[in-house]
């Protein structure tokens, strides 16, 4: 099982390298889609079918959004000359980041033995307390329902933001004078 | 070499690819791709931390009782929180893509350094 995880993670790293380095933007976006479906498959093997389903749906939607953002323009990469300072800085931070995380992993529990202090209670009492046989559904919709409410609010705000940004212009023509008055009218 | 922290390290390498794309690339869509890659890596890391060796999915059925789940299932709490995070990732992606589209309409280019020069 652990070998499958390693193979999938290598596939995802290669896919993201293709996505970052390829010249054609459409193939970069599709490589990101391949990485996302690899993540989804890995979620399925890790015992998380709910997240695997969600990841597939979100991946399809984000592919549609990214293809919309690339294909209406020229879909070639714009890098003509290599920005060496940015590349060196990026590689430096990549190395620094991996080193720091390897150092931080010494404080984690080993892979395959999670701590599960709170989760034991959820696992034992979910079907009796919430009536949900799927413990993940019990957590998101009952034990931590306020979290899900906040998620819905964040999602609504981002959709509203995208709508406001993408709107062509206001409903009223720019050269038309204001005829209606709102608020406190002085005369 | 298939030790148990090597999965964590590979996952952080994936996150590092995203950091590299975010810093070094000048194309806006490439930067968005970097953010999306980082998001995948972090979600996957939280699920990896909650994995129990040989664990089953935290779903009861006729054969598996609640006591069995407490003994054998993987951690459901990171799964619930990552579910939230994935959906929020879609929202931020839509916001970033719409900003990129607007920038292209205004400046006729996706090149970040070009946009910096044209400003003003």
With an 8 Å Cβ cutoff, are A73 and B110 in contact? yes
Query: Which residues, listed in sequence order, are joined to residue B3 by a DSSP beta bridge?
Result: none
Chain A CB within 8 Å of residue B118 CB = no
Q: Per-residue pLDDT tens for A162-181?
A: 888 888 766 666 676 666 66
The correct answer on CATH 1.10.287.3510 for the domain covering B6-118 is yes
Q: Which ipTM did the prediction report?
A: 0.89
With an 8 Å Cβ cutoff, are B47 and A28 in contact? no
Chain A residues in contact with B74 by the CB 8 A cut-off are: 46-48, 114
Residue whose entry in the numeric block shows the structure tokens 């968005």: B32
Q: Per-residue pLDDT tens for A132-161?
A: 888 999 999 999 999 999 999 999 999 899
Q: Per-residue pLDDT tens for B70-119?
A: 888 899 999 999 999 999 999 999 999 999 988 888 888 888 877 777 76
Interface of B with A in 37-96 (CB under 8 A): 37, 40, 43-44, 47-61, 66-67, 69-70, 73-77, 79-84, 86-95
With an 8 Å Cβ cutoff, are B57 and A49 in contact? yes
Phi first, then psi: give them for residue B59, nearest 5 degrees. -130, 125
Residue ranges per structural domain of chain A: 1-82, 115-170
CA–CA dist A32, A52 (Å, integer): 16
């Amino acid at each position: 099982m652990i070998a499958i995880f390693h193979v999938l993670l290598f596939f995802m790293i290669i896919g993201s390298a293709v996505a970052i380095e390829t010249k054609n933007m459409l193939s970069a976006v599709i490589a990101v889609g391949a990485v996302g479906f690899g993540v989804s498959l890995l979620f399925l093997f890790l015992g998380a079918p709910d997240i695997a389903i969600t990841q597939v749906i979100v991946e399809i939607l984000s592919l549609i959004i990214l293809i919309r953002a690339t294909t209406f323009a020229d879909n070639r990469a714009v890098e003509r000359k290599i920005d060496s300072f940015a590349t060196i800085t990026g590689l430096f931070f990549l190395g620094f980041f991996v080193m720091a995380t390897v150092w931080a992993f010494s404080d984690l529990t080993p892979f395959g033995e999670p701590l599960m202090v709170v989760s034991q209670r959820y696992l034992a009492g979910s079907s009796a307390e919430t009536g949900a046989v799927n413990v993940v559904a019990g957590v998101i919709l009952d034990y931590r329902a306020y979290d899900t409410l906040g998620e819905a609010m964040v999602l609504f705000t981002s959709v509203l933001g995208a709508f406001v940004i993408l709107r062509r212009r206001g409903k009223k023509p720019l050269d038309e004078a204001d005829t209606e008055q709102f608020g406190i009218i002085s005369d | 070499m298939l030790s148990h922290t090597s999965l964590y390290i590979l996952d952080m390498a994936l996150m590092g690819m995203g950091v590299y794309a975010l810093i070094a690339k000048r194309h806006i869509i490439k930067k968005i791709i970097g953010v999306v890659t980082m998001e995948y890596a972090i979600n996957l890391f939280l699920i990896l931390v909650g994995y129990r060796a040989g664990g089953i999915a935290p779903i009861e059925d006729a054969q598996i009782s609640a006591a069995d789940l407490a003994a054998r299932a993987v951690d459901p709490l990171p799964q619930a929180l990552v579910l939230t995070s994935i959906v929020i990732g879609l929202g931020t992606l839509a916001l970033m893509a719409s900003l990129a589209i607007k920038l292209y309409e205004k400046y006729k280019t996706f090149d970040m350094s070009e946009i910096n020069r044209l400003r003003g």
